[in-house]
Chain A
Amino acid sequence: MGPRNRFIAIVAVVAIATGAWLSFKVMTPAALPLTATLLPAPGPLPEFSLLDHDGNAIGRGVFSGQWSLVFFGFTHCPDICPLTLQVLADARKQLADEGMDPLPRIVLVSVDPERDTPEILGQYVQYFGDDNLGITGELEEVRKLTGRLGIFFEKTATDGDNYSVDHSAVVLVINPRGQFHALFSAPHIARNFVHDLPLIMRGR
């Protein structure tokens, strides 16, 4: 191969590589959330007056300044609620292992404030992570929050004098401006959160 041919060959290789790189950059769509639903226009939360798990009075401002994953449940729920909190805790741990910082906070809003005192709720949520937040208080105030978010719950009798609470199974994503930003529908699987949350939190 003469110098001229070698030059042509090098130019050809460079051109092909550049073309491949460009087409990869241009043609590959930005990754999108796979399971989460993004709200087209995130809106502010309604005002409410509730208690955190330390008994401090809180309003919607408690959601400002960080991303939150909010689940509605209750402590006398042996199956779905601990299962969901464990999924969220596992997802948060995996995101931490991948270097995500800051991490979203896990929040449990009690739909059974009658039995969930701040103390009981605090023990419960912190079992799944020290940074978790429990919210409880007057039933009417809980309803102010849930009603505007489309979260439904109702008491149901089980056996004897025991009762359960049916409740919406979604996990809401609240952004650091305190706006309802996205939601995950049940069934909840850790890898869905691990895949979608970085995309949601980076604003794609």
Chain B
Amino acid sequence: MQLKFVILLSILGTACTLEQAPLVATDVSIKEPLPGMQMTAGYLSLTNNTSQLITIARVTSPQFGSVEMHESVVEDGMARMYPLGELTILAGKTVQFEPGGKHLMLMRPVGEFQSVTLEFHANKAVLLTVNVALSD
């Protein structure tokens, strides 16, 4: 009986751990830089699974000299790009980075690589690390 209880608890514990990763990235896509280009775009969905705000202060990648969060908008017929600075995700909400909207601008690739690691930082701690293969 006690053993069953322990097993049950550990299953529940595992399930909770899976569900409660505070920040989750899905549909991550980073295009291979176009020929001759020193930059590319990254797209993904970021979900805040906590009951508090999560603020991403910056994004880094060992494969790129610089990563910025940007947002493309078309307003009054003008295509504009705004740097996002920090990005705050409300409790329980998802923010989409998608073509024509928010995106990661990854600049100055470092050497040859087939996959990219992205690190999402709060002011001090690393909130999330994801690794994704380059797409065409």
Query: Which residues of A pack against B, CB within 8 Å?
Result: 73, 75-80, 82-83, 119-120, 123-124, 127, 152, 156, 158-160, 162, 164, 166-170, 185-187
* A123 pairs with B70, CB closer than 8 A: no
Query: Which residues of B pack against A, CB within 8 Å?
Result: 31, 34-37, 39-41, 66, 68, 70, 72, 74, 77-81, 83, 99-100, 103, 105-107
Nearest Cβ on chain B to A53's Cβ, whole angstroms: 11
CA–CA, A171 to B132, complex, Å?
A: 34
Nearest Cβ on chain A to B101's Cβ, whole angstroms: 8
* B78 pairs with A168, CB closer than 8 A: yes
List residues of chain A with CB within 8 A of the CB of B100: 79-80, 83, 187
CA–CA, A167 to B106, complex, Å?
A: 21
Further pairs besides A124-B34, A152-B78, A185-B77: 5, Cβ < 8 Å: A78-B106, A79-B72, A127-B35, A158-B81, A169-B77
List residues of chain A with CB within 8 A of the CB of B105: 78-79
List residues of chain A with CB within 8 A of the CB of B68: 158-159, 162
List residues of chain B with CB within 8 A of the CB of A166: 78-81
* A170 pairs with B77, CB closer than 8 A: yes
Closest to B42 in A: A78
Cross-interface CB contact of B79 among A123, A127, A169, cutoff 8 Å: A169
CA–CA, A76 to B36, complex, Å?
A: 11
List residues of chain A with CB within 8 A of the CB of B74: 80, 169, 186-187
CA–CA, A38 to B103, complex, Å?
A: 33
* B36 pairs with A186, CB closer than 8 A: no
* A167 pairs with B39, CB closer than 8 A: no
List residues of chain B with CB within 8 A of the CB of A82: 31, 34, 41
